[in-house]
Structure 1
C-alpha cells in the first residue's frame, strides 16, 4: 500500500516542475501529454484503499522496534520509518512516517542524491526518536519522583504506577 501511495505522491510532485518548465499559467490549457498523464493518475489514485490506523502500538506490547528505509533516483529521493511490534507472537507493522523529495530540475549526480537521501533519512529518524522520547520523558517526569510531591489526583495515579512497575521505568 505504501508503495502505491508514494508512487502517486512522487508522480504529483514531479508534475509541478514539468508545468514550470512549460511556462503554463494557472488558467491555461495543459499540453495533451500532461493532460493525459494527469487523467490516468487521477483515475488510478488508490483513495478507496487508503486506511490509516489511529494508533501505532497495541497495549502490552512485548517487543517494539523501528525500521527505516530510504532510496534515491534521478527523479527524487525518499525515506520511510515503520514500527514493528509484537504481542502474543503476533507481529504488527505500521507506517510511522515518510517523506519524499523531487530532484532539482538541474541534473544532479546520483551519489549526491544518495547523500541527500541519507540526510533526509537521518532527519526523519531523529524526528521520530525525538517525538517518542518527548512523549515518554513527560510521563516519566511525573512517575519517577515520590508521589507525595503531587496533588491527590496525580499522587494516586503515580502511586498506582509505581506499585506495579519497577522504579527503572
Structure 2
C-alpha cells in the first residue's frame, strides 16, 4: 500500500489478505497508504465487509455516509478531510462503538505527538506522564517489568532495538 497500487490492494483484500497485519513499526497497510485513493480502497472494502476483519486493529476509520460528507462540504465544516466536530460522525452508533472510535482517535493523536517529539532532534527517554512508564525508544514497547538496555540515557527493550537504533544513527 505504500506504493499506491490500489488495484493490487483491492485484489488482495478480495482474496482474503489480512489488513490487520502490522509492520515492524506497528503500522498497518492502511497506515502505510501513500495517497487518498489507496486509503479509500480500504474504506470501501471495510464498508462492504464490516464483519470480516477487526477494522479498528487495521486502523481503518469508519467511513462517513455520502449524505454526511456532502453536508459537511456544504457547511464548510471540514478541514483537509477531517470533520471539525468529531462527535457529529458518531451520531447513531452504539455507545461501545463510539467509545472505541474516540479511544482510537486519542491514540492516533498521541502517536502523532510522540513521532513529532522523536523527529525534533536528539531522542530522549520517553515517559508516559499519567503512569510514568518508560518505553523503548525504537519500538515504543513498555519497559515495565523489564531491565532495559541503556545507551546515553536512552532505553531499549532488546538488543534488536539497540542494533536498529545504532543502524539508524549511523546513516
Give the TM-score range, shorter chain.
under 0.3
Query: Which has more strand, going by share of residues?
Result: 1
TM-score by length of 2: 0.27
If asked which structure has higher relative contact order (CA below 8 Å, sep 6+), I would say: 1
In our comparison, the structure showing a higher alpha carbon Rg is: 1
Instruction: Name the TM-score, length of structure 1 as normaliser.
Output: 0.27
More helix per residue: 1
